[in-house]
Chain A
Amino acid sequence: GAVVSQHPSRVICKSGTSVKIECRSLDFQATTMFWYRQFPKQSLMLMATSNEGSKATYEQGVEKDKFLINHASLTLSTLTVTSAHPEDSSFYICSAVRGPVGLYEQFFGPGTRLTVL
């Protein structure tokens, strides 16, 4: 199967600090990865599309300077929450698309719980 991992699984940080979350495709190469945010009892909201070797595409309302995305290789994308504030506390989930076959086969990571104090 296709496995996607995230690290860390949960993180607690102080307000004003930056937090980096890693998303890795373990057994396949992913030219495209997606980052989602999920607040309690709500659905997954797409934040940005991460393409290997190019700039990420952000959804409307998502601050690109606050949520820095780097897709440096075909198996790794990172999301850095800069100057985190309590309202950034959420469940962050990545997904990876396998192969150059379009956007159909998406595999999700287990998520990262961010708590900003």
Chain B
Amino acid sequence: GESVGLHLPTLSVQEGDNSIINCAYSNSASDYFIWYKQESGKGPQFIIDIRSNMDKRQGQRVTVLLNKTVKHLSLQIAATQPGDSAVYFCAENSIDTPLVFGKGTRLSVIA
């Protein structure tokens, strides 16, 4: 199994600032990457995805960047709002493998 820690990394940002959450993935064969948002006591909520043939994808207030060379994924949230406070997970998979989740980052928005 994967190693996990008892404390999630936390990113604290001021309301209105931009947030950048980073993720290192492990499988160079993964070709699909997703960011999920999880609020306390709820299941993961899809935010944005990107396939390995792209290096950037934009959604509403969110941008995902993929660097396959160093196996790094990032999520940028523009004009962060209090409602963005949650735990964010990156996940990776390929056509015939289940999703593997990263360790997660807690985003705390300071009003």
Contacts of A109 in B (CB 8 A): 43
| Contacting pair B98 A43 (CB below 8 A) | no
| Contacting pair B102 A34 (CB below 8 A) | no
B22 to chain A, nearest CB (A): 15
- Interface status of A84 (Cβ within 8 A of chain B): no
Chain A, residues 77-109, CB within 8 Å of chain B (1/0): the string is 000000000000001010100000011101111
Which residues 51-66 of A sit at the B interface, judged by CB distance below 8 A?
59-61
| Contacting pair B89 A44 (CB below 8 A) | yes
Cα distance, A42 to B87, chains bound together (Å): 10
State which size class the interface on B falls in.
20 to 34
If A43-B89, A43-B103 touch, does A108 touch B1 (CB 8 Å cutoff)? no
If A43-B2, A102-B96 touch, does A110 touch B42 (CB 8 Å cutoff)? yes
- Specify the chain B residue showing the minimal Cβ separation from A97: B98
- Interface status of B76 (Cβ within 8 A of chain A): no
Tell me which of A39, A44, A106, A111 contacts B42 (CB under 8 A). A111
- Knowing that A43-B4, A111-B43 touch, tell me 13 more A-B residue pairs with CB under 8 angstroms: A42-B4, A42-B5, A42-B103, A44-B101, A59-B1, A91-B41, A102-B95, A102-B96, A103-B93, A103-B97, A106-B99, A111-B41, A113-B41
Q: Which residues of B contact A (CB under 8 A)?
A: 1-2, 4-8, 32, 36, 41-46, 89, 93, 95-104
Q: What are 23 A-B contacts defined by CB distance under 8 Å?
A: A6-B43, A34-B98, A34-B99, A41-B6, A42-B6, A42-B104, A44-B44, A45-B4, A46-B99, A46-B100, A60-B1, A61-B1, A95-B99, A102-B95, A103-B95, A103-B96, A103-B98, A107-B46, A108-B44, A108-B45, A109-B43, A110-B42, A113-B41
